[in-house]
Amino acid sequence: RIKKEMEDLEFDEVFIDPLGNVIGKIGKGSTVIAYDGHIDVVDVDVSAWDTPPFEAKIIDEKIYGRGSCDQKGGVASLVYSGRILKELGLEDDFTFYFVGSVMEEDSDGLPWLYILKEDKIKPEIVVLTEPTNLKIARGHRGRMEIGVKTHGLSAHGSAPERGVNAIYKMARLIFEIEKLNNRLKYDEFLGKGTVAVTDVRSKSPSLCAIPYECSIHLDRRLTQGEDKELALAEIKAFVKDEDTEVFVHMYERPSYTGLVYPMEKYYPTWTISNDHPAVKGAVDGFKGLFGKDPIVDKWVFSTNGVAIKGLMGVDCIGFGPGNEVYAHAPNEFVPIDDLVKAMEFYAAFPLNYKKYKEGI
């Protein structure tokens, strides 16, 4: 449907890449700007909803449905902003890419890692349309998914002294990991780094046997000044046994097209400064459109910016319809007025950005 909509709006080029990203193009100018919104959604408990989650329902000027806020609303706004940009006649000065990206919910950044490396699209700035409640976002914490695995020796449960209990070994590590939270870095803008044990599993021949293996999954949120090497070293410092493993998980699930594009589940922290031309241009554009000063802030959650800026060094800025508190929640919704304002913002952004970029 997104591809057809772009075609009906007379985009210059529309295609679906091998990973499944829907990409529209307008213009042939030297200033290359991309707009991104992911089109995949999280699962849903239908019983928790007051409306059918997979049918858009308009109630009190709000659109209810799974993904309305996170983040099909942003996708709708970016697609229709393309038509406005085309009517403004900016094709000679700008090249615009409009992306409906896939697999973001499973491995944020993966679709753009593919776009930048394999599709060879090279924007100088990417506008992320994840929900910001119409605030301007200039970064967020990174994250990584760490695995820890302890090994023991199985024995009959009636004689535990004959074995080595892998769960007991892991329990000591978990206690140290919990205390680690008190020592993690703090950043004035992004906040504090965190670590949480989110899954524990063990292996044994039966429930009457000593576990010979125990694994935990760590959700590590990275603030400014924290990276993969630091986070792994912090966990390894607690390890007393040579056979205990500490590693970063890999994402290797296929896209709906069948393509597997492996990615390490390390998603770096990223920010841009308040003095960046994109931030200054976004602030000016917001003031011109809405007659008031915007709030410049950050996301609490993670976005495709972890790959675009964090891994590949391409600058990003964010502005999106909807309030992030409703993302992934029952009765998720996006206000229709937010969709209109976001569309206007995306259309106004290029000229304001270019003004500050070129120092006009």
Contact 131, 70 (CB under 8 A): yes
Task: Tokens for 144, please give them.
Answer: 């990584």
pTM of the model: 0.92
Side-chain-side CA neighbours of residue 211 (13 Å) = 17
Render 3-72 in DSSP notation, one character per residue: HHHHHHTT-SEEEE-TT--EEEEEE--SEEEEEEEE-------GGG-SS-TTS-EEETTEEESTTIIIII
Residue located via tokens 């950005």: 353
Domains and CATH numbers, the chain: 2-140+269-357 (3.40.630.10), 142-251 (3.30.70.360)
* pLDDT tens across the length of the chain (360 residues): 899 999 999 999 999 999 999 999 999 999 999 999 999 999 999 999 999 999 999 999 999 999 999 999 999 999 999 999 999 999 999 999 999 999 999 999 999 999 999 999 999 999 999 999 999 999 999 999 999 999 999 999 999 999 999 999 999 999 999 999 999 999 999 999 999 999 999 999 999 999 999 999 999 999 999 999 999 999 999 998 889 999 999 999 999 999 999 999 999 999 999 999 999 999 999 999 999 999 999 999 999 999 999 999 999 999 999 999 999 999 999 999 999 999 999 999 999 999 998 875
User: For residues 233 and 213, what is the distance between their CA atoms, to the nearest angstrom?
Assistant: 22
- Closest to 131 (Cα-Cα) out of 72, 81, 65, 82: 72
What residues are annotated to the active site?
Answer: 40, 104
Task: Tokens for 269, please give them.
Answer: 């922290």
Contact 68, 131 (CB under 8 A): no
